[in-house]
């Protein structure tokens, strides 16, 4: 899967409330427990996919300041057994100082 594909699948479509959207700054694209891409969230938009009206997608760009997470495991975040582990919201990952 190329970088464009990782972004496409990471950027939509999330079941996420207004409070979480307001606080979210970065999104991690994860496959098989490994971070494949990290993106700075610029804005959110309502999903246009039929049957997904409660979901949101985001527009963003790669986050070079967070690139050190690419290739690392998410095991330390205890995502196993979650119904939708890819939509777990993490607080505690320090943001780079440039934000």
Task: Note the pLDDT of residue 85.
Answer: 47
Predicted TM-score (pTM) of the model is: 0.79
Task: Note the pLDDT of residue 78.
Answer: 67
Per-residue pLDDT reduced to its tens digit, 40-75? 999 999 988 788 778 999 999 999 999 999 999 988
Q: Is the pLDDT of residue 88 over 80?
A: no
**Comparing 86 with 17, which gets the higher pLDDT?**
17
Domain boundaries, the chain: 3-73
- Among the listed residues 54, 50, 60, 48, the one whose alpha carbon sits nearest the alpha carbon of residue 24: 60
- Among the listed residues 41, 65, 66, 45, the one whose alpha carbon sits nearest the alpha carbon of residue 55: 45
Q: Is the pLDDT of residue 86 over 60?
A: no
- 82 close to 88: Cβ distance less than 8 angstroms: yes
């Amino acid at each position: 899967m190329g970088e464009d594909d990782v972004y496409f699948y990471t950027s939509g479509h999330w079941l996420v409330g207004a409070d979480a959207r307001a606080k979210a700054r970065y999104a991690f694209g994860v496959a098989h427990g490994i971070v494949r891409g990290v993106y700075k969230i610029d804005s959110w938009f309502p999903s246009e996919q039929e049957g997904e009206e409660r979901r949101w997608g985001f527009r963003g760009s790669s986050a070079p300041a967070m690139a050190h997470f690419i290739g690392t495991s998410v095991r330390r975040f205890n995502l196993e057994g979650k119904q939708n582990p890819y939509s777990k919201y993490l607080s505690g990952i320090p943001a780079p100082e440039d934000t």
